[in-house]
Structure 1
Amino acid sequence: MQKKSKKKEAAAADPQTATSHNNNTIIKDSPPKIKEWRSDALDASNFERPAYLIDHLLFDGVTLLVGGPKVGKSILVEQMAHAIATGTPLWGNAVKTGTVLYLNMESDPSNAKNRRSAMGLDSTEKLYYVFEKALNLTNLETYLRRFKAKHPDLILVIIDTLHRIRGIHNTMQEYSYAQAVNDIDVLQNIAFKQDLSFIAVHHPAKNSTDPLGSQGIFGTVSSKLTLTRPKESIFGRLTVIPRFHPEWTLPLKFVQNPLMWVIDKENGGNENLPVFVSYILKFLAECEAHQFEGTCNALWLKANLANLCKNPQTLSRSLNDYMAVFQENNVTIKKGRSNGRRIICLKWHDF
């Protein structure tokens, strides 16, 4: 009987090893190279936040646009696409100009043409449409690589809708949370590899305001846009929820001629200022001497900022993020401590 080699005997004795066909010892479940971050190194690191494609509205990476049927999601993404392709500010917000690819998988050329006509949009060489149903998440990366080779300035791809691009004809109820997270991961990888961004339009499941557990899915996207409009109403609200920027809500109005969303100025909309800044200015205008001094919690409550900042901690970060805008509008923000409490002072000069 042939004796086992020492290498084979060692491999057989160790349950964590095996021998390949060429007698090389293989470590079972060998972990990949993993980098550990020490807390002080992590704290000392500087990471770039996602940049704007449309100031305060649309960010680099993957954005999930959520809204019920017939609320106007396609009109909204059409406006965003046109703004970026033509370099035209949207509602007063500056844009990053580049080529846009609109994967309009729930429409056809005739309907798309009629909608563009109803919206009064001018033609542009930097906006392309695809109506084919053959694209899916398995062949999308290859297709986009070829498209970008012809159009190097491609910066935004709109997917209308996420359910269509999946390439699997499950019903919405069968579309699980795990599947949705996996699909977003695919888009994130493509966005990173090809240096472009996505808007994925998504319908909530029936009788649900939380699409596929979108609070959990949000952890995988760069930002989320939620568009709401009561049935038969012309008024809507666009909630912008970035991962690394302040959350805020923009009041909108749906007009028919031309067909588009506009700022609802009657309900606090302002084309020249971020909504968060507008709310603070409105609050200071009503304060004695146009100033406030107190805790962030008191400011959050008195200025009624719950719709813009989910808690006082978010409010504090938002004030820091918009510090330059406040300074441009003659508002000073000072922070300090009094009787062991963190105090913030806001004053609107030259009111």
Structure 2
Amino acid sequence: MTGKRKTTASVSSVGADGKQPNIKKDTEIIANETAQINLQATDFCGFDTNNCKSPEKSGCSLQTVSMTELYDTLYPPRTPVVDGFLYGGTYLFVGAPKVGKSFFMGQLAYHIAMGIPLWDYTVRKGTVLYLALEDDYARLQRRLSQMFGIESADNLYFATQAKTLKEGLDGELEEFVKQHTDARLIIIDTLQKVREVGGETFSYSNDYEIVTKLKAFSDKYGICLLVVHHTRKMESGDSFDMISGTNGLLGAADGAFIMQKKKRTDNTAVLDIVGRDQPDQELTIEFDRERCIWKFKKAETELWKQPPNPLLEAINEFLAEGRPEWEGTATELLKQLPDMQLSANVLSRKLNVVNSQLLNDYGIFYDNKRGHERRIILKRLERNE
């Protein structure tokens, strides 16, 4: 990526044409670092863990971080899997049996593996693992060929059997992501197939613990775990109260998708979305029974668009064509950005905070190297880096 890029929003609005995206819109973009995302500053000081303090070294068993340390720490950037729609972390995808969840999972997996937009949402290309634990390979073959023809994605993998969490599912998933370092998404279809069975299966603490285990894995490797689950039979005014089990499932998850139809025979469904890293949404989608894919119809509200950040716009202008990379101190960088009335310390902190936005919206990698003198690194990445 070279030259200036206009980026006034981190997500694009949803289109209403409902057409299957053209494969030429491929967007291979940077995957998350494989380092754990949710580490405290005392464990993860920027990208250099040698300078970090441990509870043992500090003589304190309670691991804490001051507000100053928090602002002065550079954490790995978080990149969406699907802009404005799906992010790293552990999410529930919930719907009644036979409502069309598996078709949607196949559609989502294919689009991410191929790097083509889902409706008008930009997709970040990467390897996908789909644990289709209620299917067999012959059924998957028929379903996918009906949806996408014979064009295949060699970075989309399937398994119809897996261990439960108690038996070591996390070990199986860990081996997969170590072999496929560009893994972006793992789909578990369904939760019931991998959860431990016991006397407290449906207690709040047990449900919370199950999703917490999955979330620990997704956070460690910076990927998305999408867990398919069923709704309960009792109706509720709040669609998220329809999740089978206790509130512990949603409480521990990063977000949830609820797919509902008024009648099972309807082609139209409502998709409610809530999460920590994306705006709440309500989408109306329609099932194309001939092609077995979901098409977009409308959104209840338009996605909020983040206004331009003057600092990021200035850095984007500075790294113009002919200067794809720069390294120096914060003071030296300020001399290159004369309109930014900031101190060197404030500049470093602001860049630490907007690290992910700088990468996702402008394609610029930022690092803050520790040493005798802190040095800032800015690099405009090529599309496939």
TM-score bracket relative to the smaller structure:
0.5 to 0.7
| CA apart distance, 1:241 | 0.5
Q: Specify the SS of the correspondent of 1:116.
A: helix
1:332 maps to none
Identity percentage over the alignment? 28
Tell me the distance in 2 between the aligned counterparts of 1:44 and 1:214: 39
Per-residue Cα deviation, 1:312-339 (whole angstroms, up to 9, x for no partner): xxxxxx5xx5435xxxxxxxxxxxxxxx
Establish whether residue 78 from structure 1 lines up as the match of residue 62 from structure 2: no
Q: Specify the SS of the correspondent of 2:184.
A: strand
Establish whether residue 260 from structure 1 lines up as the match of residue 293 from structure 2: yes
2:181 aligns with one of 146, 149, 152: 152
| CA apart distance, 1:128 | 0.5
Runs ≥4 residues deviating over 3 A? 35-51, 133-138, 212-217, 321-324
Q: Tell me, yes or no, if the aligned pair for 1:98 and 1:153 is still in contact at 8 Å.
A: yes
Establish whether residue 177 from structure 1 lines up as the match of residue 204 from structure 2: yes
Unaligned runs of 5+ in 2: 1-58, 309-385
Q: Specify the SS of the correspondent of 2:81.
A: strand
Question: In structure 2, what residue type is equivalent to 1:179?
Answer: N
Q: Tell me, yes or no, if the aligned pair for 1:137 and 1:183 is still in contact at 8 Å.
A: no
Paired positions, count = 244
Q: Looking at both structures, which has the greater relative contact order when contacts are Cα pairs under 8 Å and sequence separation is at least 6? A: 2
1:23 maps to none
2:172 maps to 143
Unaligned runs of 5+ in 1: 1-30, 270-274, 279-317, 325-351
Which has more radius of gyration?
A: 1
Tell me the distance in 1 between the aligned counterparts of 2:223 and 2:251: 19
| CA apart distance, 1:50 | 5.3
Tell me the distance in 2 between the aligned counterparts of 1:105 and 1:90: 24
RMSD over equivalenced CA pairs, Å: 3.0
Which range moves more in the overlay, 190-199 or 71-80?
A: 190-199
1:323 maps to 307
TM-score normalized with structure 2 length: 0.56
Structure having the larger proportion of residues in helix: 1
2:261 maps to 229
2:333 maps to none
Which range moves more in the overlay, 100-109 or 146-155?
A: 146-155
Question: In structure 2, what residue type is equivalent to 1:61?
Answer: G
Tell me the distance in 2 between the aligned counterparts of 1:241 and 1:145: 27
2:146 aligns with one of 118, 126, 129: 118
Question: In structure 1, what residue type is equivalent to 2:217?
Answer: I
1:189 aligns with one of 216, 226, 231: 216
1:218 aligns with one of 232, 236, 250: 250
2:302 aligns with one of 270, 277, 282: 277
Question: In structure 1, what residue type is equivalent to 2:160?
Answer: F
Establish whether residue 203 from structure 1 lines up as the match of residue 187 from structure 2: no
Question: In structure 2, what residue type is equivalent to 1:35?
Answer: Q
| CA apart distance, 1:90 | 0.2
Per-residue Cα deviation, 1:163-203 (whole angstroms, up to 9, x for no partner): 11114388xx9533322211111111111223322000011
Question: In structure 1, what residue type is equivalent to 2:192?
Answer: H
Tell me the distance in 1 between the aligned counterparts of 2:70 and 2:223: 27
Indicate how the Cα distance of structure 1 residues 183 and 49 shifts in structure 2: closer, same or farther if over 3 A, else same: farther
